[in-house]
Structure 1
Amino acid sequence: MHPQIFGVLLLALAPAQVFCIFNRRTWGARTASSPLARFDGPASLVVIHTTNTNPCSIPSMCKSVVRDLQIKNIASNSSDIAYNFLIGCCSGVYEGTGWDYKAPISHNYKDPAIHVALIGKFDESAVPTHMSQSLRALISESQLRNKLKNSFTITEHKSNSSTRKLMVKNFLQGFAEYKEQVNDLLLPEQRAATSTTAKPAVSVPSSKPSSPTTFSTASDRKATFATSTSKPTTAKNQFFYT
């Protein structure tokens, strides 16, 4: 059985900025079709994907999209939903294989990575900027859990759609840790699938998060989502379960 985080996980960058992680139980996940490899971390890479599905604007819609995506992935011979986490347009984060297990799609990459999917197609519209705040909160929590290094690279997964790739690239350029998807991140057999020109390596300062992250149970009706451009500041996690 996949381990469960009981209740909804709230990620707080500051008292006024709260983000939710909905665990597998809350979106109705199936059990993985075969055992998943353990993810020990810490990763040095965050890879951003798009689900190529309809977007979702409220938690109930997002849960349905994530549930259908898991069914589709398993039917395509994946052990489970392809990603570690997914982010909806409602700003909610949805647990895929989570922090404890490798995402099935990770076999394409030579370095340990956390794979995050943005729910939507983004062929004709830009990625909503508020989704970056949920991504930053997820990155901060991953670092606090020692699942992601303080110095890391964030990149986009290769896409067959040039428009979608541009939309995701524009979204990620707001991150100092961004590096365009290049061959040196892929396993040799995957390198022929991309012809992207490498950009110079980015020198990344330590980005250890520094504001408290609060954990609590909550129904998705009462979950509060807010965005902010403020930088996180250091504090120990506080855990509250009900």
Structure 2
Amino acid sequence: MSRLGAPLAWALLALLGLAAAQEGNETCCGPIVPRREWNALPSACETKLRLPVDYVVVSHTAGSHCDTPALCRQQAQNVQHYHARTLDFCDVAYNFLIGEDGLVYEGRGWDIQGDHASRWNNKAIGITFMGNFMERSPAPRALRAAQSLLACGVALNALSEEYQLKGHRNVQRTLSPGDRLYEIIRQWPHFHV
């Protein structure tokens, strides 16, 4: 299959799945790029989260941004390689990664504990935006994807209906999620310092 064919194929299947789920009144989260589609390394993580969790921690990778499915798949692989091979984590640190292509990339998923924020890993979902958002904002479609993911988490009972959203800098000494992204998430309904 061509480089373009694989992303288009899974996007079409995701859309078909979306229609089928809506017809059956099932909870639907929109397309989340599964690990196999971005060629994730196998995970060695086993620690489960106790769902629903009460917190979400939003960060940025502070690395290269991506704005196409091909670039975002590569960036997700780069982040996982750094975490698993260099930092010796059991997998990519985050539960989900958001690309500026407007897609959500499955990291550890809803039920596996992340390594995104010390002392918060066992009680929070970690969502990261791929890129550096100190001086620029993420693309609107990336912000919509993150908000859709949060709504999905509540619908799936993975997030408490009263969950609190925090910036990475609210729970750890860091500049993450970047000044521009932080200003945006401070306006979201569930944000708490």
Matched letter for residue 88 of structure 2? N
In the alignment, what sits opposite 1:86? 97
Q: What is the TM-score normalised by the length of structure 2?
A: 0.78
1:40, distance to aligned residue in structure 2 (A): 2.9
2:166 pairs with 1:178: no
CA distance change for structure 1 residues 144 and 19 in 2, over 3 Å: closer, same or farther?
closer
1:152, distance to aligned residue in structure 2 (A): 1.1
In the alignment, what sits opposite 1:64? 74
Report the 3-state secondary structure (helix = DSSP H, G, I; strand = E; otherwise coil) of the residue aligned with 1:82.
Answer: coil
2:151 pairs with 1:140: yes
In the alignment, what sits opposite 1:156? 167
Partner Cα separation in structure 2 for residue 155 and residue 73 of structure 1: 22
1:80, distance to aligned residue in structure 2 (A): 0.6
CA contact 1:19–1:91 (8 Å) conserved in 2: no
Q: Which has the larger radius of gyration?
A: 1
Q: What is the TM-score normalised by the length of structure 1?
A: 0.63
CA distance change for structure 1 residues 111 and 70 in 2, over 3 Å: closer, same or farther?
closer
Partner Cα separation in structure 2 for residue 22 and residue 127 of structure 1: 19
CA contact 1:44–1:111 (8 Å) conserved in 2: no
CA distance change for structure 1 residues 24 and 176 in 2, over 3 Å: closer, same or farther?
same
CA distance change for structure 1 residues 40 and 111 in 2, over 3 Å: closer, same or farther?
closer
2:49 pairs with 1:36: no
Matched letter for residue 29 of structure 1? A
CA contact 1:45–1:111 (8 Å) conserved in 2: no
Partner Cα separation in structure 2 for residue 57 and residue 67 of structure 1: 15
Residue 182 of structure 2 is aligned with which of 157, 163, 169? 169
Q: Which has the higher helix share?
A: 2
1:179, distance to aligned residue in structure 2 (A): 1.4
1:89, distance to aligned residue in structure 2 (A): 0.5
Partner Cα separation in structure 2 for residue 160 and residue 106 of structure 1: 10
**Which runs of 5 or more residues in structure 1 are unaligned?**
1-6, 181-242
CA contact 2:69–2:101 (8 Å) conserved in 1: yes
Report the 3-state secondary structure (helix = DSSP H, G, I; strand = E; otherwise coil) of the residue aligned with 2:41.
Answer: coil
Deviations 1:70-103 (A, max 9, x none): 0100121211100000101111000000012111
Instruction: Please provide the CA RMSD for this pair.
Output: 2.4
Structure 1 residue ranges (4+ consecutive) displaced by more than 6 angstroms after TM superposition = none
Partner Cα separation in structure 2 for residue 87 and residue 129 of structure 1: 12
The percentage of aligned residue pairs carrying the same residue is 23
